[in-house]
């Protein structure tokens, strides 16, 4: 029997999920992999909660994990990019394999950590989409394919908020408060609703499937706070749902990489991924279209991915088998890097909600302003005014147009006297 001694850094929700799955399914894991995972030490900067450590030693110093000669494998489940990064660096330098769920560390330091022996020693399936085996799928199951595009709902908080706004007609602020009460959003939710969490995850997918290089700065990033109930209602009227997407596309000019809200046709698979679920749709030359969906967060869901990596590393350590995540690494030649298309050059159709004064000729002035930039209208909604001095929304769907052209047109429109407040622009998902 092969026994791998495990040290766990952190004792939060995911770490407790790992302990529970080992307790419950340890024999099943051994049956399937030939490996028994034995937790011998848990280290957390916080005092030990009332958690059964299954006989493992507990300490408040992370250094104990590095100094414990009995430990074969470290699970880094702290989060953040401070002490967690330091722990991963030191473990890899010692030749100790590491499994991490830390998307922030990978997005910012992936090139460094996966250089040299890091390719063999570091795994991070849980960093992107919880229980969904998307990294194994890209690096293994789809390894023979050239990826054309990837579209992902990779932040459950944003997906929950949009779903509740649509289903219940509840404003953004109230739904966000509900999400916080349920534990789906942090007390400071900016990491999720500003798109940073999704951007970290997309950076990892971009590196593994398209560019071979981790570069968060290559992404265009937008959050969801500017989307209102009115936008969700108008989108539905036009036959769309609004989702917060991570988008990667191979084009003739290079690779597009962006995170933002987008209109998705109601009959599309991604449009029907609800609640806090995640989903990633990949289009490739050999396999065609594939959709991966499942819980993107939660203790046991994330623990499932962590333990999958732990077992793969254990097999690799004992038999030399298992997947190896390959990227360009820290020493990649910039001349060989894939071109990232600047957001200004990205082409997409657009949804515009233009709050205007209730007066004759407004629609004609709006369309005239757009025509100056050769932007045509594919669909329009203009409801009758409800009376009083309230602005009237003109909603337009444009043809596909370059971002820089759309931005110039929006600046022109926003400067018109007839526009009563800020224009809302949302892009239509590619292929919609």
| pLDDT given at position 306 | 96
Q: What is the average pLDDT across 226-247?
A: 97
- Please tell me the distance from the alpha carbon of residue 431 to that of residue 264, in angstroms, as a whole number: 9
Structural domain ending residue among the three candidates 314, 333, 352: 333
Q: Give domain status of residue 93, yes or no.
A: yes
Instruction: Respond yes or no: is residue 201 known to be catalytic.
Output: yes
Query: Worst-scoring range by mean pLDDT, 222-236, 253-267, 353-367?
Result: 353-367
Do 281 and 160 share a structural domain? yes
Do 158 and 239 share a structural domain? yes
Number of domains in the chain: 3
Q: Which stretches within 169-261 are classed as H helix?
A: 172-181, 190-193, 196-206, 229-237
Q: What is the average pLDDT across 203-211?
A: 95
| pLDDT given at position 273 | 94
Q: Give domain status of residue 338, yes or no.
A: no
Of residues 211 and 326, more confidently modeled: 211
Mean pLDDT (the chain, rounded): 91
Q: In the numeric block, which tokens belong to residue 381?
A: 């909604």
Query: In percent, how much of the chain has pLDDT > 90?
Result: 79
For residue 81, pLDDT over 80 is answered with yes
Q: Give domain status of residue 229, yes or no.
A: yes
- Please tell me the distance from the alpha carbon of residue 334 to that of residue 320, in angstroms, as a whole number: 32
**Contact between 1 and 36 (Cβ < 8 Å):** yes
Among candidate residues 77, 70, 74, the one with its CA nearest the CA of residue 14: 77
Do 181 and 216 share a structural domain? yes
CATH code for position 192? 3.30.360.10
| pLDDT given at position 360 | 86
pTM higher than 0.75, yes or no?
Answer: yes
Burial of 287 per CB tally in 10 Å (0-12, 13-18, 19+): middle
- Please tell me the distance from the alpha carbon of residue 364 to that of residue 300, in angstroms, as a whole number: 56
Among candidate residues 115, 144, 324, the one with its CA nearest the CA of residue 213: 115
Q: What is the average pLDDT across 364-384?
A: 94
Q: Is 100 helix (H, G, I), strand (E, B) or coil?
A: strand
Helix pair angle (103-113, 196-206), 10° resolution:
30
pLDDT digits (tens, 9 = 90+) for 273-326: 999 899 999 999 999 999 999 988 778 889 999 999 999 999 888 876 555 555
Domain that holds residue 185: 139-294
- pLDDT-derived band at 266 (thresholds 50, 70, 90) equals very high
Among candidate residues 108, 107, 194, the one with its CA nearest the CA of residue 157: 194
| pLDDT given at position 151 | 96
| pLDDT given at position 334 | 44
Residue 372 burial (CB count, 10 A): 10
Q: Give domain status of residue 165, yes or no.
A: yes
CATH code for position 361? 3.30.70.260
- pLDDT-derived band at 386 (thresholds 50, 70, 90) equals low
Given the residues 201, 236, 241, 345, the one annotated as active site: 201
For residue 336, pLDDT over 60 is answered with no
Q: What is the average pLDDT across 191-201?
A: 96
CATH code for position 98? 3.40.50.720
pLDDT digits (tens, 9 = 90+) for 45-71: 877 778 889 899 999 999 999 999 999
Measured CA distances, 316 to 26, 183, 184, 273, 309 (Å): 18, 36, 35, 35, 10
Do 258 and 229 share a structural domain? yes
pLDDT digits (tens, 9 = 90+) for 285-297: 999 999 999 988 7
| pLDDT given at position 296 | 80
For residue 381, pLDDT over 50 is answered with yes
For residue 332, pLDDT over 80 is answered with no
- Please tell me the distance from the alpha carbon of residue 87 to that of residue 64, in angstroms, as a whole number: 11
| pLDDT given at position 293 | 93
**Contact between 204 and 114 (Cβ < 8 Å):** no
Q: What is the DSSP string of 237-286?
A: HTTEEEEEEEEEEEETTEEEEEEEEEEEETTSTGGG--TTEEEEEEEETT
Residue 236 burial (CB count, 10 A): 13
Query: In percent, how much of the chain has pLDDT > 70?
Result: 94
Do 288 and 308 share a structural domain? no
Do 234 and 202 share a structural domain? yes
Q: What is the average pLDDT across 210-218?
A: 94
- Does residue 388 come out as left (phi exceeding 0), alpha (psi in the -120 to 50 range) or beta? left
pLDDT digits (tens, 9 = 90+) for 94-150: 999 999 999 999 999 999 999 988 888 999 999 998 889 999 999 888 999 999 999
Longest dimension (CA), the chain: 82
């Amino acid at each position: 029997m092969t026994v791998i001694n495990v040290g766990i850094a952190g004792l939060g929700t995911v770490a407790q999920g790992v302990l529970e799955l080992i307790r419950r399914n340890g024999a099943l894991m051994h049956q399937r992999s030939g490996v028994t995972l034995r937790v011998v030490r848990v280290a957390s900067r916080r005092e030990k909660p009332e958690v059964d450590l299954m006989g493992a030693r507990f300490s408040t110093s992370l250094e104990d994990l590095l100094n414990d000669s009995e430990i074969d494998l470290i699970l880094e489940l702290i989060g953040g990019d401070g002490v967690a990064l330091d722990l991963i660096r030191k473990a890899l330098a010692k030749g100790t394999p590491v499994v991490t769920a830390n998307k922030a560390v990978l997005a910012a330091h992936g090139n460094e950590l996966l250089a040299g022996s890091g390719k063999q020693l570091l795994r991070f399936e849980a960093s992107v989409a919880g229980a969904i085996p998307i990294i194994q799928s890209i690096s293994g199951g789809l390894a023979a394919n050239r990826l054309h595009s990837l579209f992902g709902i990779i932040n459950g908080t944003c997906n929950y908020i949009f779903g509740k706004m649509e289903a219940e007609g509840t404003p953004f602020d109230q739904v966000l408060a509900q999400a916080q009460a349920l534990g789906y959003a942090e007390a400071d939710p900016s990491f999720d609703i500003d798109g940073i969490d999704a951007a970290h995850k997309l950076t990892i997918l971009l590196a593994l499937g398209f560019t071979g290089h981790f570069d968060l700065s290559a992404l265009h990033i937008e959050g969801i706070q500017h989307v209102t109930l009115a936008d969700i209602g108008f989108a539905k009227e036009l036959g769309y749902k609004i989702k917060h997407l991570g988008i990667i596309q191979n084009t003739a000019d290079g690779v597009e990489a962006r995170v933002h809200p987008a209109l998705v046709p109601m009959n599309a698979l991604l449009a029907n991924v609800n609640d806090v679920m995640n989903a990633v749709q990949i289009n490739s030359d050999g396999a065609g279209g594939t959709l991966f969906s499942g819980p993107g967060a939660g203790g046991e869901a994330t623990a499932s991915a962590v333990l999958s990596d732990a077992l793969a590393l254990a097999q690799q350590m004992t038999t030399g088998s298992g997947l190896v995540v390959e990227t360009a690494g820290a020493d990649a030649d910039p001349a060989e890097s894939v071109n990232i298309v600047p957001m200004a050059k990205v082409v997409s159709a657009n949804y515009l909600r233009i709050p205007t004064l209730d007066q004759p000729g407004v629609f004609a002035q709006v369309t005239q302003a757009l025509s100056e930039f050769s932007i045509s209208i594919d669909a329009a909604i203009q409801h009758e005014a409800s009376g009083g001095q309230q602005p009237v929304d003109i909603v337009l769907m444009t043809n596909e147009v370059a971002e820089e052209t759309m931005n110039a047109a929006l600046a022109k429109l926003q400067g018109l006297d007839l526009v009563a407040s800020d224009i809302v622009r949302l892009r239509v998902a590619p292929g919609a």
